[in-house]
Amino acid sequence: MIHVVTDSTSDLTPAQAGGLGVTVVPLIVRFGEDQFRDGVDLDSEAFYRRLTSSKVHPTTSQPSPEEFSAVYRSLLRGPDDSVVSIHISSHLSGTLQSAHLAVQELGPARVHLVDSGSVTAGLQMLVRSALDDVAEGCDAGEVVERALARKERIGIYVLLDTLTYLLRGGRIGRAQAMVGGLLNVKPVLTVRDGEVAPQARVRSRRQGFDLIADLIRKRLPLRRLAVFDTGAPELVGEMRGLLEDAAPGVDILLGQVGPVVGTYAGPGGLGVAYLAAG
């Protein structure tokens, strides 16, 4: 049996993960001395309430190799069991490195690692597509091969309310070039080569929505779309309507960016992910 594993930056809720049969390894979020497992001890709604009210800026950390090892061992019970483990971009987190250390101990023949080059909804799309491959009867090697090809067709556009949280968390990457020119404008970012990168500057949220919809039109035809908010669910409806016009007939997955990624994105933002047809 092929078991699919991911980490909590995929922003699958516990109910979604359980329904899909995916094992999620949580990252850690800390507010000072208070430590939480992402999505387990602290859900998205509670996180954004605390983020906007706390005087302490949260920090995050990756799972340990021992945590990955325990998960993999629990799944590799029979001789025919194998694991495909798909994770946040190695440029954004050391999570994949922890998984790699666990695999060195267990042996790479039964645990196959995939660097998604993405995060949140983009990572989740790769996980959901891998599950489709398993359902089609692919073996673990084929699932990995398809995931590696598919990741090149996944993209993310993010409209943030501010770059402050990315700066504080040190995950700003190539978007550093936007700092200093953002007075009264909002940043639109993307993930390129596994790193946060600048896409555009806009004067208003509506301009940002329109820009993202236009960018999505240029990526047609699409297999999947997703809209994830960062503690601002009221923004989702408007963006969803624009995407339905831009890419008619494409199912749109809705969700919320969880605590770990929300630590860097901050509140009041919106992200759109796509999987282009191959």
pTM: 0.92
The single-letter code of the amino acid at 90 is S
Question: Cα separations (Å) of 197 from 65, 88, 166, 172?
Answer: 29, 16, 12, 8
Domains and CATH numbers, the chain: 2-26+63-151 (3.40.50.10170), 153-276 (3.30.1180.10)
The separation between CA 272 and the C-alpha centre of its own chain, rounded to angstroms, equals 11
Cα(148)–Cα(161) distance, rounded to whole angstroms? 32
Find the helix packing angle between 236-246 and 205-217, rounded to 10°: 30
The residues with which 201 forms a beta bridge, in sequence order, are: 187
Find the helix packing angle between 95-106 and 65-75, rounded to 10°: 50
Q: Could you tell me the pLDDT band of residue 184, with boundaries at 50, 70 and 90?
A: low
Tens of pLDDT, residue by residue over 99-132, are 999 999 887 889 999 999 999 999 999 999 999 9
Q: Could you tell me the pLDDT band of residue 88, with boundaries at 50, 70 and 90?
A: very high
40, 14 contact by CB (below 8 A): yes
Predicted confidence at residue 165, as pLDDT, reads: 83
Tens of pLDDT, residue by residue over 214-257, are 999 999 999 999 999 999 999 999 999 999 999 999 999 999 99
* CB neighbour list of residue 184: distance below 8 Å, 6 or more residues apart: 203
The separation between CA 111 and the C-alpha centre of its own chain, rounded to angstroms, equals 21
191, 125 contact by CB (below 8 A): no
Q: Could you tell me the pLDDT band of residue 171, with boundaries at 50, 70 and 90?
A: low
Angle, vertex CA 249, rays to CA 220 and CA 87, nearest 5: 65
